Amino acid sequence: MTVKRWITLHHLLILLCLMMIPLLIHKGIGISQKLAAIQTAEHLFHEKRLVEAENWYRKAQVNRSIRYKEELISSRLEELAPITAMKNDLGDIADQASRADHERDFELLMKAYNKLQQAQSRYMTPEGAYSDYYSQVSEHYGIPQNFTGYFQKFKTLFLEQMEQNLAGASYDDESFKRNLLRIPGGLLGTEQEWLDELLTAFQKYDETKLTRMAAKGLVKSMLNDASSMLAEYKSNNLEAPWIISNAENLIESLLQSDWDNDDYAAFAMHARQFATFADSADPESKVLSLAKSRIDELMLRAGKNAENGDYQEAIDLYTALGHYQDTQAEISAAELAWTLAEPVRLLPSPADGSGYAHVVSGRDRFGSKVYVAATDQNNKLYFGRMNAEESVQVLSNQNLTPEKQIRTIAVDPDLSTNSNPVIVVEAASEARNARYAAFEVRESNITLLYSIEGDSLTIQPDGTLHVVNPVGEGEGQTAIFVRSGDIYQFAGIMQDILDISADSVSQYPDKLVRFTSTIIRTGSGEALAMGSNSLLLLRGDFSLPAGAAKVTVTGRFKQYAEQTVDEQLIGQIEAALKGQTGGETSGPNERQVEDRVDGQIGSRVEEQVDGQADGQVAGTGDGQMGGQGAGQVDGTGDGQMGGRADGQGEGASNGLLQSLTEGKQLWVPIVEVEMIR
């Protein structure tokens, strides 16, 4: 029989029936299961085992083997919809928690736990009709046991991280603290038991960490971490007294060590760091009080050092204390006091460390609070000054070469002005006794005024220089140098000056003489003066001191000039005499002149004769006294008295008045003045 002949309709039907048998069996089983599910669900529903009933109703609904009591199933599921929603929510939460455990994702687990808390608060309400079934659904998914296990694993992980931080002395990541505090304590025992366990672990960790940081000298970081830890604990409503006590103990030991080692900079720095910490953590700290009292003690010690002149010690101590508080004002005051006591500090320290060879200084002159002049080993001149604003200026000059050995330097009072000091220097000289130099300090430089070699140099009150035996012009004599602009130049040879009376000027023609006379009147480039019994005409380029009556004149008699006597001249002479005597002069009455000579001049002459052996009043023969003006009292007779006794005498001056008549022409000696004062 061939296949073709065998495949007939009859045979195909038999084959199809045979193939339908498994399908019918499967459908029958499905129908049986659905009927059983409905029956079981109804039984559970009536026994109020609604969670299980919902599950069987759900199985019956998805069973499509037969459409049987579909309306009943739908109504029951609609009635049990809250349980269905509860199962869906808790199922999703269980899946998320399982995934977090598998991936070791603590944040994901906390999200799942937060959802669980929300679901619990939503479904387990006192008025909720299905709140009693929440525990059944939760147990159905194993939520309590699973979450406890998951958090237990993370607890172990975080505690291990804590130990790893201590072992590696690495504290960058301390998130485990925050995570441990987030673990629900109720899942691991009671809340208090879990909190006690955590605080014990945290205390051990914190104390170990702070101690190790302090031992490594990380004091500031240690205190900053302590502050951060306190803030973190406070944010979690926790107290951590061990942090404050541990920090205080560590700082107290550290401060004591700094104090014992006289390391006041470290003491001040550590005290400031702790004060910053304690101001917020423990303002009443005994350690803070102790640190402040010792800082006050050190401030007093520094002040006493400055008062005693130990300026460097004071500044060093103030600088050290600057780590605790601002001591810049105290440092500046100590430095100023030191500078006033040792002005050389205004100058830069010599590069070779040898110091300055010659130093001169002063205060409150030349517009400076303090000034100093000094020369170094290379003869470089320095001048430093500090003004009222404590601004310092330093100038220098190298006109003196190093081979010129300096003997002395000084600030000359005669050459200096109110604003420009003049520094005079005496140095060794191979050709003469010394080399004399002067430097004028100006606003922005030091200028050389002179550098002269000679046997001696004296600075005159008028600012001229008298140099004995200078090198060059004036050699072998006493030369005069006069300032011209910025430098002193040779002006001539100094001649001997004869001290004479004004009345004897004409006896020394063309010779340098010095005498005292009384100014009667002045004009342009000249002045009329009088001696005891004569008039003189002074000419030259000079100026008279303000209000001067008597002057000392140095000059030379050259020639005579004609002078007319008039009423004005006589009046001026009388006025000059009044200024000398403080009273009125007599007229041309010879008896009055004689009386005043006998009563006043005679006694003064006797006093000078007694007090000045070989003095200005001396006998000249035949009983004459002071023979420089014979007949000067009354113009006649022997025993005449010199008119220079006690500064020219009234009688002599009246004698001058007697000799003058209005309209008379006199020949008056002319004196070319070289100096007048």
- Tens of pLDDT, residue by residue over 583-634, are 544 444 433 333 333 333 333 333 333 333 333 333 333 333 333 333 333 3
Closest C-alpha to 420, from 473, 365, 471: 365
Per DSSP, 400 falls in state: S
Tokens of 209: 């960490």
Examine the domain organization and report whether 102 and 200 are in the same domain.
Answer: no
Share of the chain above pLDDT 90, in %: 53
Domain end point (choices 337, 370, 405): 337
Whether 160 is covered by a domain: the verdict is no
Region 96-117: what's the mean pLDDT? 94
Q: Find out whether 423 and 382 touch, Cβ atoms under 8 Å.
A: no
Domain around 357: 345-493
Higher pLDDT, 589 or 514: 514
Q: What is the pLDDT of residue 596?
A: 35
Whether 272 is covered by a domain: the verdict is yes
Higher pLDDT, 657 or 91: 91
Share of the chain above pLDDT 70, in %: 81
Place of tokens 């969670």: 51
> Cα–Cα distances in Å, from 378 out to 314, 426, 494?
33, 15, 36
Q: What is the pLDDT of residue 2?
A: 56
Q: Is the pLDDT of residue 26 over 80?
A: no
Highest average pLDDT, of 74-83, 120-129, 260-269, 354-363, comes from: 260-269
Q: Find out whether 576 and 518 touch, Cβ atoms under 8 Å.
A: yes
Whether 76 is covered by a domain: the verdict is no
Give 395's strand partners: 383
Examine the domain organization and report whether 525 and 651 are in the same domain.
Answer: yes
Taking the alpha carbons at both ends of the chain, their separation in whole angstroms is 175
Domain end point (choices 460, 493, 526): 493
Whether 300 is covered by a domain: the verdict is yes
Q: Find out whether 419 and 441 touch, Cβ atoms under 8 Å.
A: no
- Tens of pLDDT, residue by residue over 523-547, are 888 999 999 888 999 999 888 866 6
Examine the domain organization and report whether 459 and 482 are in the same domain.
Answer: yes
Q: What is the pLDDT of residue 625?
A: 32
Examine the domain organization and report whether 311 and 388 are in the same domain.
Answer: no
Q: What is the pLDDT of residue 131?
A: 73
Examine the domain organization and report whether 262 and 221 are in the same domain.
Answer: yes
Examine the domain organization and report whether 405 and 265 are in the same domain.
Answer: no
Region 281-307: what's the mean pLDDT? 95
Q: Is the pLDDT of residue 642 over 90?
A: no
Chain mean pLDDT for the chain = 82
Q: How confident is the model at residue 158 (pLDDT cuts 50, 70, 90)?
A: very high
Highest average pLDDT, of 48-62, 132-146, 549-563, comes from: 549-563
Residue type, 486: D
Whether 628 is covered by a domain: the verdict is no
> Cα–Cα distances in Å, from 370 out to 30, 390, 510?
118, 9, 50
Q: Is the pLDDT of residue 15 over 90?
A: no
Give the angle subtended at the CA of 356 by the CAs of 351 and 359, to the nearest 5°. Answer: 150
Q: Is the pLDDT of residue 149 over 70?
A: yes
Q: What is the pLDDT of residue 169?
A: 87
Q: What is the pLDDT of residue 10?
A: 66
Whether 556 is covered by a domain: the verdict is yes
Examine the domain organization and report whether 294 and 264 are in the same domain.
Answer: yes
Closest C-alpha to 273, from 232, 354, 214: 214
Whether 52 is covered by a domain: the verdict is no
Q: Is the pLDDT of residue 125 over 80?
A: no
Q: What is the pLDDT of residue 628?
A: 35
- Report the domain count for the chain: 4
Q: What is the pLDDT of residue 421?
A: 96
- Tens of pLDDT, residue by residue over 359-383, are 999 999 999 999 999 999 889 999 9
Highest average pLDDT, of 32-46, 194-208, 622-636, 658-672, comes from: 194-208
Examine the domain organization and report whether 251 and 270 are in the same domain.
Answer: yes
Region 203-212: what's the mean pLDDT? 95
- Tens of pLDDT, residue by residue over 50-92, are 777 777 777 777 666 666 677 777 777 777 777 888 888 899 9
Q: Is the pLDDT of residue 94 over 60?
A: yes
Q: What is the pLDDT of residue 185?
A: 85
Helical segments of 282-387, H only: 286-307, 311-321, 328-341
Q: Is the pLDDT of residue 124 over 50?
A: yes
Examine the domain organization and report whether 553 and 672 are in the same domain.
Answer: yes
Q: What is the pLDDT of residue 400?
A: 85
Q: How far apart are CA 15 and CA 17, in angstroms?
A: 5
- Tens of pLDDT, residue by residue over 391-434, are 999 999 999 888 789 999 999 999 999 999 999 999 999 999 99
Q: What is the pLDDT of residue 542?
A: 84
Region 654-667: what's the mean pLDDT? 73
Region 483-497: what's the mean pLDDT? 89
Examine the domain organization and report whether 569 and 463 are in the same domain.
Answer: no
Examine the domain organization and report whether 373 and 516 are in the same domain.
Answer: no
Domain end point (choices 464, 493, 522): 493
CATH number at 555 reads: 2.40.50
Q: What is the pLDDT of residue 672?
A: 94
Q: What is the pLDDT of residue 102?
A: 94
Q: What is the pLDDT of residue 643?
A: 35
Place of tokens 């100093």: 372
Whether 72 is covered by a domain: the verdict is no
Q: What is the pLDDT of residue 457?
A: 95
Q: How far apart are CA 360 and CA 383, in angstroms?
A: 10
Lowest mean pLDDT among 268-272, 348-352, 459-463, 508-512: 348-352
Examine the domain organization and report whether 405 and 272 are in the same domain.
Answer: no
Burial of 102 from C-beta contacts in 10 A (0-12 / 13-18 / 19+): exposed
Q: Find out whether 360 and 423 touch, Cβ atoms under 8 Å.
A: yes
Q: What is the pLDDT of residue 631?
A: 33
Compute CA 205 distance to the chain's CA centroid, rounded to the nearest angstrom: 44
> Cα–Cα distances in Å, from 559 out to 471, 496, 506, 540?
37, 21, 8, 14
